[in-house]
Amino acid sequence: MIVLNFKCIKICTFSPMKFLRFLLFPFAIIYGTLVFLRNKFYDWHLFPSSRFEIPIILVGNISTGGTGKSPHIEYLIRLLKPNFKVATLSRGYGRKTKGYILAKQDSSSEEIGDEPKQFKNKFEDILVAVDSDRANGIKQLLSHQPDLGVVLLDDAFQHRALTASLSIVLTDYNKLFSTDLILPVGNLREFRSGVSRAAIIIVTKCPENLSQIKRNELQKTLIRNQTQKVLFSYIQYGSLVNLFDSVNGNNNPVLDSTCDVLLLTGIATTQPLEDYVKGKSKSVLHLKYSDHHSFSKNDLNDVIKKFNTIASANKIILTTEKDAMRLMSREFKQILMPLPVCYLPIEVNFYEKDKITFNQEILNHVR
């Protein structure tokens, strides 16, 4: 007798996106295999990789899009700066220059990129440099400061031509690498197995009240070798800061239930920020641009038109700290100066036990 289990039968619905991903699957296999072989050639020392005697801590990911690398770099700077001479090295994504550049206080985002400018703005006394050739960048940093204590590499996990002394991989709590697929079908830059090169995996943008049970479940899912540590961080938002020192006599607006907000973003992941601002304000109108968007005067004119449509006496234009770096140019200052434009700084923090573990791991490594 044949028994049919109708519970197992699913009605397939047509989805153009799913169909497109199905068509791209062979390309994903080809791309993933090439990246896998490239990594193996580095593992087998068939491709050369530069090494340095000083500690080099890499913060990266295997996914495209924002996982929170910049605030984690800043966390490391705050942790290490009191006892060690710290430098950061990025490729300077989105900059209009080439080669090695050591950031100055007045360097623009067009010269060095928005994240390096943000680091230099916040931490004036550390070396901040950009170079797509990371090995050359470290050589140049050491020529500037021979007694350098540690270099923090921003987004260089796939840059195998340089061997870091400690690698940290980030994965977004809402977009875990363990549930993703490789490009172009998914968002992974390489197969999930590549995470095994990292000593520490940090799950970022977690809810502040994430239970220990859920963390234990995720640790089992994400860990790739027995020596790895899986830790969890969450975002903490700061107080609003004016883009320029003083706007109409109001130094720092307050985000509260009486405030209408025009939210301006050019970052990869906006949902956590949008949810936070909606929870704090009266209303939110969101103008969303692509990650690292290079703002133009036309963009700002559109922003002003949208802002003028908000019929409220208590309204602000709010952007991210990273986007603010691209809005501080002289040509934009004349346009934005009369307006209440501010940005929302963020920091990351760890759950108590994870914070102790992470800090000890980093400090012991650098020592």
pLDDT tens string 41-77: 999 999 999 999 999 999 999 998 789 999 999 999 9
Band of pLDDT at residue 251, cut at 50, 70 and 90: low
Residue 334 predicted with pLDDT over 50: yes
Residue 247 predicted with pLDDT over 60: no
Residue 353 predicted with pLDDT over 60: yes
Q: Are 276 and 163 found together in one domain? A: no
Rounded to an integer, the average pLDDT of 8-22 is 54
Rounded to an integer, the average pLDDT of 165-173 is 97
Rounded to an integer, the average pLDDT of 291-296 is 88
Strand locations in the chain (E): 56-60, 86-90, 101-102, 127-130, 150-154, 166-172, 200-204, 229-237, 241-242, 260-265, 283-288, 315-320, 341-344, 346-350
Residue 13 predicted with pLDDT over 70: no
Whether residue 227 lies inside any domain: the answer is: yes
Whether residue 41 lies inside any domain: the answer is: no
Residue 16 predicted with pLDDT over 80: no
In angstroms, the CA 248 to CA 239 distance is 19
Q: Is residue 173 within 8 Å of residue 63, measured between CB atoms? A: no
Q: Are 246 and 163 found together in one domain? A: no
pLDDT tens digits for range 75-104: 999 999 999 999 999 999 889 999 999 999
Least confident of 62-66, 119-123, 250-254, 275-279: 250-254
Q: Are 331 and 248 found together in one domain? A: yes
Integer CA distances (angstroms), 123 to 13, 92, 104, 321, in order: 53, 17, 11, 14
Q: Are 284 and 211 found together in one domain? A: no
Q: Are 338 and 353 found together in one domain? A: no
- The dihedral over CA atoms of 259, 260, 263, 264, expressed in degrees to the nearest 10, equals -100
- Work out the percent of the chain whose per-residue pLDDT is above 70: 92
pLDDT tens digits for range 122-160: 999 999 999 999 999 999 999 999 999 999 999 999 999
DSSP state letters, 29-92: HHHHHHHHHHHHHHHTTSS--B--SS-EEEEE-SBSS---HHHHHHHHHHHHTTTS-EEEEE--
Q: Are 164 and 60 found together in one domain? A: yes
Q: For strands 127-130 and 101-102, give the pairing.
A: antiparallel
Mean pLDDT (the chain, rounded): 90
The closest alpha carbon to 72, from 107, 118, 108, belongs to 118
Residue 351 predicted with pLDDT over 90: yes
Whether residue 179 lies inside any domain: the answer is: yes
Which CATH number fits the domain that encloses residue 199? 3.40.50
Whether residue 310 lies inside any domain: the answer is: yes
Q: Are 167 and 60 found together in one domain? A: yes
Q: What pLDDT score was predicted for residue 65?
A: 78
119-127 contacts, C-beta under 8 A, 24 or more apart: 119/70, 119/73, 119/74, 119/77, 119/88, 121/325, 122/74, 122/77, 123/74, 123/77, 123/81, 123/86, 125/81, 126/77, 126/81, 126/85, 126/86, 126/87, 126/88, 127/86, 127/87, 127/88, 127/102, 127/103
Residue 249 predicted with pLDDT over 60: no
Q: What pLDDT score was predicted for residue 245?
A: 67
Q: Are 174 and 193 found together in one domain? A: yes
Q: What pLDDT score was predicted for residue 248?
A: 46
Total count of domains within the chain = 2
Whether residue 14 lies inside any domain: the answer is: no
Q: What pLDDT score was predicted for residue 18?
A: 63
Least confident of 4-18, 57-71, 82-96, 291-305: 4-18
Q: What pLDDT score was predicted for residue 71?
A: 95
pLDDT tens digits for range 309-327: 999 989 999 999 999 998 9
Band of pLDDT at residue 31, cut at 50, 70 and 90: very high
Q: Are 154 and 217 found together in one domain? A: yes
Q: Are 221 and 185 found together in one domain? A: yes
- Please give the residue range of the domain that contains residue 290: 241-344
Q: What pLDDT score was predicted for residue 7?
A: 39
* Number of Cβ within a 10 Å radius of residue 276: 15
Band of pLDDT at residue 15, cut at 50, 70 and 90: low
Q: Are 221 and 189 found together in one domain? A: yes
Residue 20 predicted with pLDDT over 90: no
Q: What pLDDT score was predicted for residue 331?
A: 83
Rounded to an integer, the average pLDDT of 217-246 is 90
Instruction: Compute the C-alpha angle 121/122/124, nearest 5°.
Output: 70
Residue 246 predicted with pLDDT over 50: no
